[in-house]
Amino acid sequence: MHGAAMPMSKSASTIRPIADCTRAIQLKPIDTEACNSRAIAYLKRGSVDRAISDLTTVIRLKPDVAKTYNNRAGAYILKHQYDSAMSDCNRAIAIEPKFSAAYATRGAIYYDTGNYDHAISDATKAIELDPQNAVAYASRGAAYLKKGLTRQAISDCTRAIKLDPNFAGAYINRATAYMNDSRYDEAITDCRSAIRIDPTYPPAYAALKTLVAKKRSFAIKKSP
């Protein structure tokens, strides 16, 4: 299973190239927007420590911007520094109590630390605040899956996919739910959809391999 999705407060399509952001920062060292954009770009390429450094700079210069705390929380999650991530999420929510993404991020922390009821609660709050939040639906679906609530997991993952048809992680979570329900053909289709969306996505290949083996085993058991 892919697990809870980690939200970001900036779309990948709006990320400025790292070199452009660096030039902007060199010209104007207090350019917080450039720092924030470069941090998100660093996260996308896996340079988590650099992202945290940039986001910490932004927070020092502008300490009351909720999205910056949320983005740094996401970076801390990638480093499994959950106490720091939780502190940043709580700060983001204190600044902006109706900030859907911060609840979704906090739900991801709860998911990663095994607190699935709290993960569901925060994802539900994120959805109430923003019914178009595909990440929140996918995260809640992942938590439902951990609790063995297959029908609810499929429903939430399906909703996430409708909101964002290119959400590879949602396809993998739904594939896992289908597998748990012995719906192997649908699960395999979802894995292939995830691979089509992102051919470099390792969980999709691992899930597909598992599903093909399980389908073969299931067919053998059913044969006379």
Clarify whether residues 82 and 183 are in a common domain. no
What's the pLDDT at 5?
57
Clarify whether residues 32 and 116 are in a common domain. yes
Domain hosting 210: range is 148-224
Closest alpha carbon to 5 in 167, 124, 191: 167
In a domain, 167, yes or no: yes
**Residue-wise burial string across 108-117, b where 16 or more C-beta atoms lie within 10 A, e elsewhere:** bbbbbeeebe
Around Cβ 151, how many Cβ atoms within 10 Å? 10
What's the pLDDT at 40?
86
Clarify whether residues 118 and 199 are in a common domain. no
CB of 195 within 8 A of CB of 204?
yes
What's the pLDDT at 34?
79
Token pair 């996430």 is at which residue? Answer: 160
Clarify whether residues 110 and 171 are in a common domain. no
Alpha-carbon radius of gyration of the chain: 19
Q: Say which CATH number the domain at 154 has.
A: 1.25.40.10
Clarify whether residues 108 and 165 are in a common domain. no
Clarify whether residues 181 and 115 are in a common domain. no
What's the pLDDT at 43?
87
Clarify whether residues 198 and 110 are in a common domain. no
Clarify whether residues 65 and 100 are in a common domain. yes
In a domain, 79, yes or no: yes
In a domain, 141, yes or no: no
What's the pLDDT at 37?
84
- Give the 3-state DSSP-derived string for 180-221, with helices as H, strands as E and coil as C: HCCCHHHHHHHHHHHHHHCCCCHHHHHHHHHHHHHHHHHHHH
Clarify whether residues 99 and 44 are in a common domain. yes
Clarify whether residues 37 and 123 are in a common domain. yes
In a domain, 42, yes or no: yes
Q: CB-based contacts of 42: which residues, under 8 Å, 6+ apart?
A: 18, 48, 50, 51, 54
Clarify whether residues 16 and 125 are in a common domain. yes
Q: What's the CA gap between 111 and 105, in Å, rounded?
A: 10
**Residue-wise burial string across 55-67, b where 16 or more C-beta atoms lie within 10 A, e elsewhere:** bebbbeeeeebbb
pTM (predicted TM-score): 0.83
As for how many domains the chain has, the answer is 2
Clarify whether residues 40 and 125 are in a common domain. yes
In a domain, 143, yes or no: no
What's the pLDDT at 25?
47
Q: What is the mean pLDDT of each run of 10 residues along the chain (224 residues)?
A: 52 50 50 80 90 93 93 96 98 98 97 98 98 97 97 98 97 96 95 96 94 83 62
In a domain, 139, yes or no: no
